[in-house]
């Protein structure tokens, strides 16, 4: 799963502008997280066509980074996230970002950004989810 990260000075209306630009270009946002840290806004966006979304945002003055994320499926019960993250920690794989994508009574779907994606995919084999499986 590809993800775009936009890092800019935080200001009123920023998310309204980013979402407007994508919507006007018929790019649907599949997941999003936004944080403001020390005057900077960090916007993480998942879309089907990251190249096109990046082109639209960069044409409007936004700096974007594209990253690979791993999508995992966990049983929706206490302790499951702890088990999965312990596997990564035991293998010295650093979690850089975790985003909850969806959840129902039985299942939770998360997107993970890690420092060693190939190794993480091997370690998390039983948790890996197909990208449209959410």
* Domain residue ranges in the chain: 2-68, 70-127
Q: What is the pLDDT of residue 130?
A: 57
Residue 65: CB atoms within 10 A of its CB come to 11
Give the class (CATH, top level) of 70-127.
alpha beta
Mean confidence (pLDDT) of the chain = 91
CA dist 117 and 123 (Å) reads: 10
Q: What is the pLDDT of residue 132?
A: 41
Q: Which tens digit of pLDDT belongs to each residue from 17-31? A: 999 999 999 999 988
CATH of domain 2-68: 3.30.2130.10
Please determine whether the domains at 2-68 and 70-127 fall in the same fold group of CATH: yes
Q: Which tens digit of pLDDT belongs to each residue from 34-45? A: 989 999 999 999
């Amino acid at each position: 799963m590809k993800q775009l990260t936009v890092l800019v000075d935080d200001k009123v209306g920023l998310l309204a502008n980013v979402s407007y630009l994508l919507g006007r270009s018929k790019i649907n946002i599949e997941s999003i997280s936004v944080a403001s840290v020390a005057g900077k806004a960090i916007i993480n966006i998942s879309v089907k066509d990251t190249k096109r979304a990046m082109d639209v945002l960069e044409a409007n003055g936004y700096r974007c980074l594209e990253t690979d994320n791993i999508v995992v499926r966990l049983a929706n019960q206490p302790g499951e996230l702890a088990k999965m993250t312990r596997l990564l920690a035991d293998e010295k794989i650093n979690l850089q970002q975790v985003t909850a994508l969806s959840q129902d009574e039985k299942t939770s779907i998360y997107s993970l950004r890690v420092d060693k994606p190939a190794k993480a995919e091997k370690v998390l084999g039983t948790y890996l989810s197909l990208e449209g499986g959410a």
